[in-house]
Amino acid sequence: MEKRFILHFLSPLKNVSPFDVNMAIDAGFDVVVPYTDVDLKEVTGLAQDAMFSRAPNDAGRTAMLIGGRDPLLAIDMFEAAKAAMFPPFQFSVLVDPSGAFTTAAAMIAVAERRLQKQGLQLGGRRVAVFGATGPVGAIAGLIAAQEGARVTLVGYDGLQRVSAAADTYGERFGAALTPADGSDDAKKLKVMEDAEVVLAAGRAGTQILTREQLASARQLRIALDINAVPPAGIEGIDAFDDGKPIEGTSGVGIGALAVGNVKFKTEHELLASMRDAEKPLYLSFVEAFEVARKHAQKNAK
């Protein structure tokens, strides 16, 4: 009897994501097994339990997904799973907490594609990330910085938390990230003065920027909002927008569905690649961005 494809889905939260369960089954896994309230110190044992139950030549029929919400904890769990394995007992692992890595990768890939249509590169652009203390915003800023952008992480509740995030991500991943206070309208306007790319990754249904605040960005090239729940995170940008000129500015708008299309394809491909892998794959936000970039470019044709 042919062995089934099994995905072990680990999360430190009370529940795993139903979105990711659906994605995994649609990507071809026969069985998705959830593990909730998982502590970091338990990952090694779980990974080794999974790998020793199958012969080495069946390792490709086992994979692991690391979820949760905290990107740094998720990466720690990812590294622990990798470290637990050794040849020939190895299987593939994907880390994507709350879909943050694939969503952030899609955001930057779509923004990069739009900049290229304007004859520009992402490297060197001034990027302001609102909602930067959340998982999607923090990783989007990190990916942009690693691609050479000049990134400002903007905190909605003052400087303390966003400064800590900029320092932590910057030190761990060797990226230059600048914190900024976006806790009131005047401070948002200060951030917008020289922003070329504005990314809104705040809570669903929460307006972050008004039309007037966006219009204050005199060098604006792109404003991208991933919020699909009314009201829009950036006033005037519709979820369906994909390069629509923004009235009163020099930039264009990109909405949640344009990003979501690339995010969906990216996550699907990463999951399917683990199912089809002949050798173990270890997939994080770097690999997610490579895949998202490919799909963003395809969408541009």
pLDDT in tens, 100-123: 999 999 999 999 999 999 999 999
Task: Indicate whether 88 pLDDT > 90.
Answer: no
The whole-angstrom separation of Cα 94 and Cα 29 is 14
Query: Does residue 67 lie within any of the structural domains?
Result: yes
Residues 112, 250 within the same domain = yes
3-state secondary structure (DSSP) of residue 131: coil
More confident call, 9 vs 277: 9
From 68, 95, 122, give the residue that closes a domain.
95
pLDDT at 183 (0 to 100): 94
Residues 162, 207 within the same domain = yes
- Least confident range from 45-59, 62-76, 164-178, 260-274: namely 45-59
Residues 124, 235 within the same domain = yes
CATH number at residue 89: 3.40.50.10280
Residue-wise pLDDT for 128-140, tens only, equals 999 999 999 999 9
Question: Beta-carbon neighbour count of residue 118 at 10 Å?
Answer: 12
CATH number at residue 160: 3.40.50.720
Measured CA angle at 95 (ends 91, 101), to 5 deg: 145
The whole-angstrom separation of Cα 121 and Cα 104 is 18
The whole-angstrom separation of Cα 301 and Cα 296 is 9
What letter represents residue 19's amino acid?
Answer: F
Residues 49, 70 within the same domain = yes
Query: Does residue 268 lie within any of the structural domains?
Result: no
pLDDT band at 215 (very low <50, low <70, confident <90, very high): very high
Query: Does residue 286 lie within any of the structural domains?
Result: no
From 67, 95, 123, give the residue that closes a domain.
95
Measuring CA to CA, how many Å separate 217 from each of 112, 142, 193, 221, 235? 19, 22, 5, 9, 14
Task: Indicate whether 299 pLDDT > 80.
Answer: no
From 75, 95, 115, give the residue that closes a domain.
95
pLDDT band at 87 (very low <50, low <70, confident <90, very high): confident
The whole-angstrom separation of Cα 123 and Cα 301 is 22
Q: What is the mean pLDDT of the segment spanning 166-187?
A: 96
Task: Indicate whether 41 pLDDT > 80.
Answer: yes
Task: Indicate whether 3 pLDDT > 80.
Answer: no
Task: Indicate whether 178 pLDDT > 70.
Answer: yes
Query: Does residue 127 lie within any of the structural domains?
Result: yes
**Alpha helix ranges (H) inside the chain:** 18-26, 43-52, 71-84, 100-117, 135-146, 160-173, 185-192, 211-215, 256-276, 285-300
Query: Does residue 128 lie within any of the structural domains?
Result: yes
Task: Indicate whether 265 pLDDT > 80.
Answer: yes
Q: Supply the pTM of this predicted model.
A: 0.95
pLDDT at 68 (0 to 100): 97
The share of the chain scoring above pLDDT 70, in percent, equals 98
Task: Indicate whether 2 pLDDT > 70.
Answer: no
Distance of CA 192 to the CA centre of its chain: 23
Q: Which domain holds residue 132?
A: 100-259
How high does pLDDT run on average in the chain?
94
Quote the radius of gyration of the chain (alpha carbons, Å).
20
pLDDT band at 277 (very low <50, low <70, confident <90, very high): confident
The whole-angstrom separation of Cα 17 and Cα 161 is 26
pLDDT at 22 (0 to 100): 97
pLDDT band at 300 (very low <50, low <70, confident <90, very high): low
Number of domains in the chain: 2
3-state secondary structure (DSSP) of residue 180: strand
Query: Does residue 182 lie within any of the structural domains?
Result: yes
Whether the ω angle into residue 231 lies within 30 degrees of 0, i.e. cis, is yes
pLDDT at 109 (0 to 100): 98
Residue-wise pLDDT for 235-252, tens only, equals 999 999 999 999 999 999
Measured CA angle at 123 (ends 150, 293), to 5 deg: 115
Residues 176, 203 within the same domain = yes
